[in-house]
Every structure is written in structure tokens, then in C-alpha cells.
Amino acid sequence: MSSTSARTAKRRPEIDTVFTINEDGSRNFIHTADVKGPWHTFRNAVHLLLLLVYVGVPWIQIGGYPAVHLDLPGRQAFLFGQTFTNQDFYLVFFLVTGLGFGLFVVTALWGRIFCGYVCPQTVFVDGVFRRVERWFEGSREKRLRLNQGPWNLNKILRKTGKHIAFILLATASAHVFLSYFIPIRELIPAVLSGPGGHSSAFIWATVWTGILYFDYSWFREQTCLVICPYGRLQSALTDSDTMVVGYDENRGEPRGKKGSDGVGDCVDCFRCVTVCPTGIDIRNGLQMECIGCTACIDACNTVMQKLERPKGLIRYDSLNGFLSGKRRSIFRPRVFLYGFLGLLGLTVFTITAMSRSPYEVRVLRPKGLPYQIKETSIQNLYNLRIQNKSQEPATYYVEFAGFADPENPDEVASADAGMPPLDVVLAQKSVRIEPLEDVTVPAFVTMVRDDYSGNMPIYFAVSDSAAKTSRKVKAVFRGP
């Protein structure tokens, strides 16, 4: 890093180049300076709270199941007491669009506040790994000196200590991440029993530890700049009334030393640049690289305070506010549109999720065997697949309901509707099914051959005594 640090000292961020990449394509590693101020304090508090949430949520149990858990091998998910199986997968669309448009509303109002405060990438890099780096290597100036200095005992000890701490933290973070996929009650014994007993979990944990160590210790802001698509989206989501972190050019320019004639409030001290985790100069205008972390606001306010000038040369404001001092408008068409679409997605998700049946029934037919012709009869075989989607064992009762009403095919025909007689044999009339398991009940339906006059819709009924609900499922009796 010593060579890149030397380049850092020479280069100034420009609007049309990426500061973190050198001309020869090598990495220009950012060493952010420490900053103090109300925004920094607030952001630290948010990061601490979120770290507690990330780590704590997998420990919360509702009804004996994790509050938030994605069971990929079992193709099911648990979300605050609700269980979703693979058949509920379509709901992901409404949840993702609801949350996605919700994020659009936040972006349209306050820019990239999500990136600066809530995104796990920022929370872990700024809230944990940079902090640990400071403990081991000191302030920005000390870190730069250490990097440029020779490999003496002090440097070896500090660097080794830092990377051991990083690897331990990456291992812990990887296990926190995995705890959303493997329940804590299984993950802890798996970790304690060593790699041999749970080789696939061990491989996942190792791979994620490697990815997170690489990301949090070295790749850092490159994840936001190169990989994350959200930064590129922001210019399409924001407008001149969006609150962003920006520099008041009218007040700050032309830059110059305090006491010089005809200069603005910016003394070109470069503090706002040295604290920036993405290495940009906010004085060049709103840039894709800005994650809205507010470090430059605190840094500049401290400088202004020392110069006995009003704070807010760099501040949260809208583009309209910076250019003309106009009050911004909150109620813009895009805010309503994103808000409406977000609410729509979340409402459909919530209502559909809450009104789902606690069990699912599907009629499956054996492949390549639509019917069997016996001497004087036709026989159809159906497999009734019943899935218990609840978190309790339940007993289900199966019966044949009858033909569909020719006048109203959504209803079962009445006994005196003149339908031909059927012989129905159910392999089981009642089945007990464990939570999130499914059972298939075969049903043989036979009709006298002379009674058959074309495909005939029929109904089976499945009832759940615990929930006192009954569902009818349609099938078709087929013949030659």
C-alpha cells in the first residue's frame, strides 16, 4: 500500500476520473481521516443499533421457529411467525417491489441515506473494520507513515494483529450471515462439532469468511462503486428537490486563505476530501460515488467553527436550495408514484400472506396414465398432495365431494342432478401431517363405461379439523 499512498498524496479527486483507481489501473487505497461531529455520533448510534439487529434477529424465535429464516434446502422461509413454502414464491415479487419502491421514495426524498446509514456494507466497513484498523494502526497520518515505512517489528506486529482481528471478525460476520440460513440451534452445534460433522456448512462458512475478509479489509468502497447497482440508479431517482449532501458553491467559491480579498468561505483545507470514504471531492458536485455518509459535513463544520464562520458550507440541502436558496418541495409526482407502487406491493403481500390457507392441496395425476379401461368400467387414479404449511401438526380429512354442477362448474352438483354413479376408493380418509411436511393420498375413481359421455369435472374435499376450514379441489374424470 505504500506506493498507492504516495499516489494519494499527489492526486486530487476530479469529477471525470475515479479517484480510487490510478491511471495505470492499480488501486488507490483510501485512508480516511477521523471525524467528529453530531452527524458522526448519530451515524455511529445507528450503526450500533443495526449491528445489534443483524446479530440479534436470528436468535428471536416465534412459535418455536426463527423470526427470520430462509431454509433453502427445505424451500421454505419464516418471516415473523408466517411460514412461506415454495408455492408462495410469487409473493416475493410483491415483497420486493414493495420494499424496492419504498427505497425509491426514501431516495427521492433524502438521496442515498440508505447507503450511508443502513447498508450492511457501510455498517460493517465503517462501523467495525475501519474502527479496528484505527485501533491497530492509529490515525490517517500514522497509517500513511506506517505504510510508507520499512517492515520493522512495529509494522509487522500492527499489521499482523490487524489482519488476525479482521479474519476473526470476518468469520463472526460470516456466521451471522449464515444464521439467517441455518437456525442458530443447528449452527452452534455444527460450529462446535468441527468441520468433519458438517462439511457443507463448514465450506459455506469458509467461503463467506473469505469473501467478507476480502471485501471489508481491502475491496471496501469498490463494492459501492463497482458492484452495487443502486448508486447508478440514484441519478434516475433523484431530482432538484432531493435532499443530498452537497457543497454551497455560491458561498464557498472562489476558494482562498482566510483574510485574502474576494474569496469565499472555502479555505481549500481539503478536510472534506480526507474524511471521505469513497475519496471524492464533494466540491465537484453531486457524484455517483457519494454514499451520503455525512463525514464531510462534520469535517467542514469543524473547520468553519474554527474560522468563526457559519456552519453549513457543506450540508444537507436540495439542488434548488444550493443554487437559489429556495425551499424544497416534498410533494412531487415521483414521490407519490413511488409511494403508491411501494404501498401497493406491500399491501398485496401483507393481505395475501395473512389470508393464505394453512394447508395446500393439489391434485396430481400419474404421468402417462390418464385412465385405465377395465372390462365394463373406466378407472382414474388421482394423487391428492396435501401440504401442512402451518407450524403445528394437523389432521386432514379427505372425501369425494361429487361432480361439478353443469350449470355452475365452480360448485358441486346436488345429489339429484342426475349424474352417473361413481365408485370412489380413498387410500386414507384422514392423515396426520407434521409441520411443513406433505403427504400424498391416492384416490381411485371408477365409472361404468356406458355412463361415460366425455371428460367430466369432479371435486374432492379436504378439511382441516384444527383450523375448521374445508377446501375443495377440482379434477377431471377422463375416458376414451
In 3D space, the residue among 287, 317, 251, 342 whose CA is nearest the CA of residue 14 turns out to be 287
Least distance (Å) from ligand SF4 to the CB of residue 192? Answer: 41
Residues within the interface to ligand SF4 (CB under 6 A): 245, 247, 252, 266-272, 275-278, 280, 282-283, 290-296, 299-300, 303, 313-314
Least distance (Å) from ligand SF4 to the CB of residue 254? Answer: 11
Tell me if 225 sits within 8 A of 17, measured CB to CB.
no
Residue 19 or 452: which CB sits closer to ligand SF4?
19
Residue 145 or 311: which CB sits closer to ligand SF4?
311
Strands 469-477 and 359-364: unpaired
**Number of alpha carbons in the 13 Å side-chain half-sphere of residue 387:** 16
Q: Residues 238, 240, 243, 247: is their CA dihedral positive or negative?
A: positive
In 3D space, the residue among 292, 355, 380, 358 whose CA is nearest the CA of residue 106 turns out to be 292
Least distance (Å) from ligand SF4 to the CB of residue 311? Answer: 10
Residue 35 or 201: which CB sits closer to ligand SF4?
35
Residue 183 or 256: which CB sits closer to ligand SF4?
256
Least distance (Å) from ligand SF4 to the CB of residue 149? Answer: 27
Least distance (Å) from ligand SF4 to the CB of residue 266? Answer: 3
Tell me if 169 sits within 8 A of 55, measured CB to CB.
no
Least distance (Å) from ligand SF4 to the CB of residue 178? Answer: 30
Least distance (Å) from ligand SF4 to the CB of residue 33? Answer: 10
Tell me if 30 sits within 8 A of 221, measured CB to CB.
yes
Residue 280 or 462: which CB sits closer to ligand SF4?
280
Q: How far from 413 is each of 201, 402, 417, 458, CA to CA, in Å? A: 54, 7, 6, 9
Residue 267 or 447: which CB sits closer to ligand SF4?
267
Residue 31 or 175: which CB sits closer to ligand SF4?
31
The separation between CA 450 and the C-alpha centre of its own chain, rounded to angstroms, equals 60
Least distance (Å) from ligand SF4 to the CB of residue 288? Answer: 10
Residue 282 or 447: which CB sits closer to ligand SF4?
282
Residue 156 or 227: which CB sits closer to ligand SF4?
227
Least distance (Å) from ligand SF4 to the CB of residue 247? Answer: 6
In 3D space, the residue among 36, 39, 14 whose CA is nearest the CA of residue 279 turns out to be 14
| CA gap 400, 424 in Å, rounded | 7
Residue 122 or 179: which CB sits closer to ligand SF4?
122
* Strand-pair partners of 78: 69, 83
Helix axes 130-137, 153-178, angle to 10 degrees: 160
Q: How far from 109 is each of 100, 299, 323, 336, CA to CA, in Å? A: 14, 24, 18, 11
Establish whether the linkage from the previous residue to 254 is cis, with ω within 30° of 0: yes
Residue 97 or 287: which CB sits closer to ligand SF4?
287
Least distance (Å) from ligand SF4 to the CB of residue 258? Answer: 10
Output the DSSP codes for 32-48: PPP--SHHHHHHHHHHH
Least distance (Å) from ligand SF4 to the CB of residue 323? Answer: 17
> For 475-480, which contacts have Cβ atoms below 8 Å and span 24 or more sequence positions?
475/363, 475/365, 475/380, 475/382, 477/378, 477/380, 477/422, 477/445, 477/447, 478/370, 478/371, 478/380, 479/371, 479/373, 479/378, 479/447, 479/449, 479/452, 479/454, 479/455, 480/371, 480/373, 480/378, 480/452
The amino acid that residue 282 corresponds to is I
